[in-house]
Structure 1
Amino acid sequence: MSQRVLVAGVGMAPFVPLSARDSAASLAGRAIRSVLEDARIDFDLVDQVFCSCVHNEAGSAEQVLAQIGLTGIPIFSISDGCVSASSAFQLARNSVLSGEVECALALGFERMPVGISNRAFFGLDEMSVQDWGSADYASRPTAFLERRQHPAALFAAQTSWLLTRMAIAESSFERVISHARAQARCNPFAVTNRSSDRDDWLAPYLCPPACGAAAVLLCTPAFIARYGARGGIAVLASVRSSDTACEQESANVLDVLGRAATRRVAQQAYERAGLGADEIEVVELHDQSVGDFMVCSAALGLCEEDQIDTFVHERRNARGAQIAVCPSGGLLGRGHAPGATGLAQIAELVWQLRGTAPAGQLNGARTALQHSAALGRSVSVTILQRT
């Protein structure tokens, strides 16, 4: 069993709007070629491939890999909603960690179906008219699962809760959005640099859906030494969890969207990495909404919930040290391509730790955290460190 997993290389294709004509193969091919070039190895050294994609047909992984070369290695295809890319990463890591392989590729790509709209992406075209507050609805065990079929309604409820129940200032919402857009303007991979089309509906507190691709190559230290691959970044921890019944019984929209699960997973990740939240210097969290940015910042331990307003404006942790949260622009700025987003976050963090980030470079950063969530049903946290 390997005692350590290293990131040998990362690659990404720019995120593009839903209306773009880029094919899944072209997006994925660009990410694959860039990750191999970054790692300085050939594809025939890869032992396994874990592909994530939400909106493509069976066999799409083989189709995109054919342009690099089908070598007969195992290819695993994953469709797991917004955490698909993180699922691919964690499975690839576990394969290397177990000693089954020395080098595994995690590839995520997304090409939305032609004609899909922002409204459809967020479930607004099938908006539920159910009264979520009714006693009958709230008492049913599957009620919280049904809520997740209508994410736009959930995010609207999240925003209302933060404004009215937690007294978060409206200026804090505006600050998160303006910061995300400013960071994205410096990021050559951000969808917001390629389209001003918000479908005449997309609420300002929601991230823009996108198409795109990203890839991460994981390997053992022995592989690095043998083939001269890049290395330099270690995966200290990668933890995942799902709902618990008690967290959902309160019917609190913040927990339906993953607040409680994020707290649990983050704590487990910190323990496995041997670190505290105040030692994290740069974060890419799953800010599918402005509310997600606020709630998850607190749930990850970057601040207390009653300090969200201050944290949004100052971005300082409990020790008073500056922390970069979503320097890439995050989902709110770079865009959200479900099959690729988790791996895109990892790529952005690796660039940060190397000192080569295309946007929002934090000088001297050594430890980073990536967070993914699928409307609360699954949450993952990965901690990386420059060796």
Structure 2
Amino acid sequence: MSRNVYVIGVGMIPFVKPGANAPYPQMAAAALRAAMVDAGVGYAQVEQAYVGYVYGDSTAGQRALYEVGMTGIPVVNVNNNCSTGSSALFLANQAVSGGSAECALALGFEQMSPGALGTLFGDRPSPFERFDLATDELVGHAGIPLALRYFGGAGLAHMQEFGTRLETFAKIRAKASRHAANNPMALFRNVVSAEDVMNSPAVWPGVLTRLMACPPTCGAGAAILCSEDFLKRHGLKGAVRIRAQSMTTDTSRTFDARDMREVVGFSMTRTAAQNVYEAAGVGPQDIQVVELHDCFAQNELLSYESLGLCPIGGAERFVEDGDNTYGGKFVTNPSGGLLSKGHPLGATGLAQCTELVQQLRGEAGPRQVDGARLALQHNLGLGGACVVTLYEKV
């Protein structure tokens, strides 16, 4: 059984630096209340809830939801690293599509600490053991935090194969800042130039500067999904259809290819995107707006290729031609993306969903992409999981 699924409500709160945030239950409740107002439904109408977070104790999802209501519905807690929010969305979509629920919600939040990401349980095997070993073998640089080595190494592989310049990554970061200047929900709204990015402190000389990495962030986002019957029965407006969605995880190629681009999920993304295009009967050329996982400027460039927005090896030309922004082929990350909006891990996928729903409704204000009818979302977590979602204006 497979039914049409619609996003009827989205909500998020402004993302902030760690320490400037409210506690996670209050952040999550604020985002969920905004989504319910946007949808025009009450919590009592929600039949299932999927709640994503990475840094929190078990059943933190219930703790967050109980701020809004205690109706006894199933609550499933989700942790899929940086793709946690879209993994919650994937499960809510499955529940409605498969007929298990008429109305379901996906909620994501994160209360993060300053500094680089790290593991919390040092007395047991790390989920990243094989990733770390592959990174040690392929790029070394043990003194650099692992996330920077992962994505810096992937960017370096692209530079070495195609002659991509460091300045190209700087231009991607500068583009993100220009987009975020129009987003009141973004953490960083100051516009920076490519020169500013190049002149920021080098965390890996010749490979990565500080401004090419997204900041640790606190925040929350939510989406309410429903069936077509529920939509019509309640006379709801402003719905956006989930045209297709795919979640992928690693294959043996992640390590066997001995390529840092594969270690950070290039083929996971490519497969998920191809699945979505095939299921929807469209190609990337039919899409107008994209929110993709730019945890580093390097990963945004790689994602242009893995999502099929440009040919393999063509990403630098894609950037130089302005095809990643307004007036080009695709407006990528009109929200400012993770680089400028921020990256509260559990909330990121729902924030991307919020931006694209607003774009398809024509409600994005100065960020609005003219004529947006199809919107693509890409959310990636190492370890690994990738979710690609195609939304359609109705």
Specify the TM-score bucket, using the shorter chain as the normaliser.
0.7 to 0.9
SS of the equivalent of 2:215 reads coil
Structure 1: distance between partners of 2:186 and 2:70: 30
Alignment of 1:48 with 2:44, yes or no, is: no
Alignment of 1:31 with 2:25, yes or no, is: no
What is aligned with 1:157?
153
Q: CA deviation at 1:305?
A: 2.5
Structure 1: distance between partners of 2:313 and 2:152: 21
Aligned residue among 194, 203, 209 for 2:210: 203
Structure 2: distance between partners of 1:236 and 1:185: 30
Aligned residue among 229, 234, 243 for 2:236: 229
SS of the equivalent of 2:390 reads strand
Moved over 6 A (4+): 198-202
Cα RMSD (Å) of the superposition?
Answer: 2.9
What is aligned with 1:328?
335
SS of the equivalent of 2:367 reads coil
Contact 1:38 1:230 in 2 (8 A): no
Alignment of 1:179 with 2:175, yes or no, is: yes
1:121-132 residue pairs with structure 2 within 5 A? none
1:1-387 residue pairs with structure 2 within 5 A? 1-112=1-112, 116-120=113-117, 150-193=146-189, 203-316=210-323, 322-358=329-365, 360-375=367-382, 377-387=384-394
What is aligned with 1:142?
none
Greater Cα offset, 355-364 or 85-94: 355-364
Greater Cα offset, 332-341 or 155-164: 155-164
TM-score by length of 2: 0.86
Contact 2:5 2:241 in 1 (8 A): yes
Going from structure 1 to structure 2, the CA distance change for 1:187 and 1:330 (only over 3 Å counts) comes to same
Whichever residue aligns with residue 6 of structure 1, its letter is: Y
Q: CA deviation at 1:121?
A: 5.1
Whichever residue aligns with residue 25 of structure 2, its letter is: A
Structure 1: distance between partners of 2:329 and 2:133: 42
Structure 1: distance between partners of 2:168 and 2:383: 23
Deviations 1:318-369 (A, max 9, x none): xx96211111111111111110101110110000111111552101200000
Structure 2: distance between partners of 1:122 and 1:156: 20
Structure 2: distance between partners of 1:256 and 1:293: 15
Say how many residue pairs are matched. Answer: 367
SS of the equivalent of 2:375 reads strand
Deviations 1:227-282 (A, max 9, x none): 22234311011101111113421210001111112111111110001111110110
Any gaps of 5 or more consecutive residues in structure 2? 121-125, 193-199, 204-208
Deviations 1:87-126 (A, max 9, x none): 10010000001111100000001112xxx33234599xx9
Q: CA deviation at 1:161?
A: 2.2
Going from structure 1 to structure 2, the CA distance change for 1:291 and 1:376 (only over 3 Å counts) comes to farther
SS of the equivalent of 2:188 reads helix
Structure 2: distance between partners of 1:70 and 1:199: 48
What is aligned with 2:206?
none
Structure 2: distance between partners of 1:66 and 1:131: 42
Going from structure 1 to structure 2, the CA distance change for 1:120 and 1:100 (only over 3 Å counts) comes to closer
Deviations 1:49-95 (A, max 9, x none): 11001111123222222221111111111112111111100100000
SS of the equivalent of 2:344 reads coil
SS of the equivalent of 1:384 reads strand
Going from structure 1 to structure 2, the CA distance change for 1:382 and 1:17 (only over 3 Å counts) comes to same
Contact 2:8 2:239 in 1 (8 A): yes
Contact 1:327 1:359 in 2 (8 A): no
Contact 2:95 2:104 in 1 (8 A): yes
Going from structure 1 to structure 2, the CA distance change for 1:359 and 1:255 (only over 3 Å counts) comes to farther
Any gaps of 5 or more consecutive residues in structure 1? 139-145
Greater Cα offset, 10-19 or 153-162: 153-162
Whichever residue aligns with residue 115 of structure 2, its letter is: N
Greater Cα offset, 31-40 or 65-74: 65-74
Structure 2: distance between partners of 1:155 and 1:316: 23
